[in-house]
């Protein structure tokens, strides 16, 4: 098989010197300032004159801003991250006008992600050492995993998270990503809270509940933060970082678990069938919102889809209203009600079902029907103790 030309980001932690940290912090601030100025200019032009401002126009504005006394400091940092910020804004507007995203929002100094993107003209990559523009020394990067042989980054993104950790992400063409041999395996996946995933094979993957395990630690850190005087004091900043570290620990462990599960599913199966859940609406359930967020179903689906695209696998999402839990996978009878506390049930045909395994098997059957016959096709269903739903409809219409 020929290797696919896939660009992949390799993310590493690094430890900047004081001078590098100061330069990057200035760059983050300038990137945020330029983005907000350009967004304000484009919003004003559309609101007052119904005029669309292009990327080229905002680039010309940036040149003019650097010549003013008030914004002269923009010339002290590398110009490439500033230009990239304008390109990112252009992309945001393209998605907005294409009705794929909401209207772009202003970046906040406290809440927005601190990052700067450098293209090839703004960094030097030699013998495994990375040196950014406006810096004399290379970054002290912890190479936790090897890069592909002969790797040459096309872009480099430097960021700092809320816990104060510094990261560098290198976008590289990875020749190691190629379609896997077709093994013909197919699996249905039912997501849940008692078990993170239940497969149509009967296997259940436990829910690690990372947030619950660190809930006491998080609560202690938040109580200490709440007792600090509000403002920009050093003690409050230190307490805020402790809270951020707990959140980062939870997110890192959750992401690691999802990466391992999704990689295994993609490697072992040619076709993976999931439910098309609207997690945003499910989070409106106040009793379950915290547990659903901890399970991170949306991130699971995102990882599954891009890894399937990498390795030539297929991910099918069945309709969210498909009654996977109430449908008997043996005789296709549909139960009228199925409360959440019912974990096992017996159909009129005499088969006793584990709720989650039965749902996963129905999801697989529905997904394979969609794959074979087109969207909207579902397995034939019967009502308990009667004819199939299709047959009942035919009898009802006969004179």
Catalytic center residues: 190, 275, 356
Q: Which residues pair with 173 in a beta bridge?
A: 7
Which structure tokens are listed for 111?
């809440």
Burial of 247 (0-12, 13-18, 19+ CB in 10 A): middle
Which structure tokens are listed for 157?
């993104």
Q: Which residues pair with 123 in a beta bridge?
A: 132
User: 3-state class of 360 per DSSP?
Assistant: helix
Bridging pattern class, strands 204-206 and 271-275? unpaired
Burial of 261 (0-12, 13-18, 19+ CB in 10 A): middle
Cα(330)–Cα(145) distance, integer angstroms: 47
Q: Which stretch of DSSP H or E encloses residue 206?
A: strand 204-206
Specify whether the CB–CB gap between 178 and 4 falls below 8 A.
yes
Q: What are the residues whose beta carbons fall under 8 Å from the beta carbon of 99, sequence distance 6 or more?
A: none
The separation between the first and the last C-alpha atoms of the chain, rounded to the nearest angstrom, is 60
CA angle 115, 117, 120 (to 5 degrees): 155
Taking only Cα atoms into account, the Rg of the chain, rounded to an integer number of angstroms, comes to: 26
Cα(131)–Cα(138) distance, integer angstroms: 4
Cα(197)–Cα(165) distance, integer angstroms: 32
Give the strand order in the sheet containing 155-160: 114-119, 155-160, 166-174, 6-14, 141-142
In this structure, how many other beta carbons lie within 10 angstroms of the beta carbon of residue 277? 15
Cα(42)–Cα(58) distance, integer angstroms: 8
Residue keyed to tokens 């991250």: 81
Specify whether the CB–CB gap between 61 and 82 falls below 8 A.
no
């Amino acid at each position: 098989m020929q290797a696919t030309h896939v660009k992949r980001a390799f993310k590493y932690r690094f430890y900047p010197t004081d001078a590098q940290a100061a330069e990057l912090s200035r760059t983050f601030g300038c990137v945020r300032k330029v983005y907000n100025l350009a967004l304000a200019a484009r919003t004003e032009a559309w609101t007052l004159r119904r005029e669309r401002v292009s990327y080229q126009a905002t680039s010309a504005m940036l040149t003019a801003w650097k010549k003013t006394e008030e914004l002269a400091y923009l010339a002290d940092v590398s110009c490439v991250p500033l230009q990239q910020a304008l390109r990112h804004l252009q992309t945001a507007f393209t998605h907005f006008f294409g009705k794929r995203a909401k209207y772009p929002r202003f970046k906040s100094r406290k809440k927005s992600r601190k990052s700067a993107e450098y293209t090839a003209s703004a960094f030097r990559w030699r013998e495994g050492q990375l040196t950014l523009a406006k810096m004399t020394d290379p970054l002290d990067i912890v190479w936790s995993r090897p890069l592909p042989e002969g790797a040459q980054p096309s872009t480099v993104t430097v960021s700092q998270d809320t816990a104060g950790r510094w990261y560098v992400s290198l976008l590289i063409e990875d020749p190691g990503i190629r379609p896997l041999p077709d093994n013909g395996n197919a699996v249905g996946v039912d997501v849940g809270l008692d078990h993170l995933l239940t497969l149509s094979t009967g296997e259940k993957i436990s829910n690690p509940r990372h947030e619950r395990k660190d809930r006491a630690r998080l609560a202690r850190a938040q109580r200490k933060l709440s007792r600090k005087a509000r403002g920009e004091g050093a003690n409050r900043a230190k307490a805020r970082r402790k809270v951020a570290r707990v959140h980062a620990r939870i997110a890192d462990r959750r992401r690691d678990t999802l990466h391992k599960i999704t990689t295994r599913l993609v490697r072992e199966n040619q076709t993976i069938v999931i439910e098309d859940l609207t997690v945003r609406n499910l989070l409106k359930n106040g009793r379950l919102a915290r547990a659903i967020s901890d399970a991170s179903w949306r991130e699971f689906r995102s990882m599954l889809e891009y890894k399937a695209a990498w390795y030539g696998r297929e991910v099918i999402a069945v309709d969210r209203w498909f009654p996977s839990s109430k449908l008997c996978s043996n005789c296709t009878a549909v139960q009228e009600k199925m409360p959440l506390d019912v974990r096992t049930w017996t159909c009129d045909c005499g088969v006793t079902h584990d709720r989650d395994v039965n749902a996963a098997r129905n999801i697989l059957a529905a997904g394979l029907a969609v794959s074979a016959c087109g969207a909207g096709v579902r397995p034939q269903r019967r009502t308990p103790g009667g004819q199939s739903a299709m047959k009942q409809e035919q009898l009802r219409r006969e004179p």
